[in-house]
Amino acid sequence: MSESLILAIETSCDETSVAVVQDGREILSNIVASQIKSHMRFGGVVPEVASRHHVEQITQVIDMALEESGHGVADMDAIAVTQGPGLVGALLVGVTAGKSLAMVYNKPLLAVNHLAGHIYASQLVKPLKFPLMALIVSGGHTELVYMKEEFSFEIIGETQDDAVGEAYDKVGRILDLPYPAGKYLDELAGKGNSEAYAIPRAMIHEDNFDFSFSGMKSAVMNTVHNAKQRGDEIVPEDLAASFQAAAVEVLVEKASKALREHPEVSQFILAGGVAANSGLRGELSTRLATEFPDVELIIPPLKLCGDNAAMIGASAHHMYADKDFSELDINAIPGLMLGE
């Protein structure tokens, strides 16, 4: 594989992030400016607010990433940017910045898929071995992806309604937790009894790799509602633990089903913001160790699970090696699919 020094930009949602990545493996810098505080009071990401923050921060974040890496733009082999999926106004800020740098410094431009980025975050931990299976769990996505080889993405299963992170955030809202609630709900779940409340394991026995999380969220909502009507107190820790156990069980079950049907797989990657979940990390490690001892599990460290530009740089390395360059007239694609 050829060598590369890539400046990568990620602005698909609510983090303005810029990284310098060497050979798709080594992070020279990875600055993540989070906007969470600005969105918290609205209980979710407000697209207009996100775009404005990206515009205000992007130049400074680029400068910080370059300074920390010890390089200038002129040293780069290419400029990589997240093209989609994501919020159109947010993506546009990064795409515009990437195109401008590519034009001014006469560098090739690489348009990266955000979800490919989440998967390739694992490459910053270990070399990837194919065929592999990846489970992407984030605020907007829940997908099981089979990769026969480098950059070949086959989505074998996905959520039919809410993404798992979205369900976490909605359940968190019901329990009055701050946004984004995943982390807080995870902490709360650690202190509760997971058998206290009945939460359905939707689609768990169905003969496919798809998921459904909206019923779990509704079950939490109904539990709280019914308790209020009866004048009963709910135990938030127990409800959080019961919800987490259901969500994790379904994810782990479908992941093992995918591995049973693809015995040729040698690595399993857990990707996306919800990969930070302690219950999911624990259950998945245990299940793989007992049922699939030959499959290597890669779960990136927390800072590489959430949105960050280093994962975009890792993914871009392969595009650079394949000379998969983009024209300077590319646009943001909010609904970009994996493999497109």
108 binds ligand KG4 (CB under 6 A): no
Q: Which two tokens stand for residue 123?
A: 């490459």
120 binds, among ligand KG4, Zn ion, none (CB under 5 to 8 A by kind): none
Task: Give the interface segment with ligand KG4, choosing from 29-37, 123-131, 161-169, 320-328 (CB under 6 A).
Answer: 161-169
Task: Give the interface segment with ligand KG4, choosing from 89-97, 212-220, 227-235, 268-276 (CB under 6 A).
Answer: 268-276
Site for ligand KG4 in 274-313 (CB under 6 A): 274, 276-277, 306-307
169 binds ligand KG4 (CB under 6 A): yes
Residue from 186, 237, 238, 283 touching ligand KG4 (CB under 6 A): that is 186
Q: Which two tokens stand for residue 211?
A: 């998921």
Distance CA(54)–CA(310), nearest Å, equals 17
140 binds ligand KG4 (CB under 6 A): yes
Q: Which one, 181 or 245, has the nearer CB to Zn ion?
A: 181
255 binds ligand KG4 (CB under 6 A): no
Nearest one of 29, 18, 255 to 124, comparing CA atoms? 29
Q: Which one, 61 or 76, has the nearer CB to ligand KG4?
A: 61
Number of Cβ within 10 Å of residue 225's Cβ equals: 13
182 binds ligand KG4 (CB under 6 A): yes
238 binds, among ligand KG4, Zn ion, none (CB under 5 to 8 A by kind): none
236 binds, among Zn ion, ligand KG4, none (CB under 5 to 8 A by kind): none
List Cβ neighbours of 66 (8 Å cut-off, separation of 6 or more): 7, 20, 29, 72, 73
Q: Which one, 169 or 238, has the nearer CB to ligand KG4?
A: 169
Q: Which one, 65 or 188, has the nearer CB to ligand KG4?
A: 188
Residue from 39, 99, 107, 183 touching ligand KG4 (CB under 6 A): that is 183
Residue from 17, 96, 122, 138 touching Zn ion (CB under 5 A): that is 138
Q: Let me know: does 325 contact 95? Beta carbons within 8 Å.
A: no
Alpha-helical runs (H) found in 70-140: 88-104, 114-120
Instruction: Give whole-number Cα distances, 84 to 27, 104, 112, in Å.
Output: 22, 23, 7
Beta bridge partner(s), residue 112 = 82
Distance CA(127)–CA(116), nearest Å, equals 15
Site for ligand KG4 in 231-250 (CB under 6 A): none
143 binds Zn ion (CB under 5 A): no
Beta bridge partner(s), residue 143 = 136, 158
Number of Cβ within 10 Å of residue 145's Cβ equals: 27
The site that binds Zn ion (CB under 5 A) totals a number of residues, namely 2
Q: Which one, 7 or 137, has the nearer CB to ligand KG4?
A: 137
What is the maximal distance between C-alpha atoms in the chain? 68
The amino acid occupying position 250 is V
Q: Which two tokens stand for residue 309?
A: 């530009």
Q: Which one, 41 or 230, has the nearer CB to ligand KG4?
A: 41
Backbone angles phi, psi at 304, to 5 degrees: -100, -5
Q: Which two tokens stand for residue 70?
A: 């010890």
307 binds Zn ion (CB under 5 A): yes
Distance CA(164)–CA(238), nearest Å, equals 19
Contact set with ligand KG4 (CB under 6 A): 13, 138-140, 165, 168-169, 180-183, 186, 272-274, 276-277, 306-307
Contact set with Zn ion (CB under 5 A): 138, 307
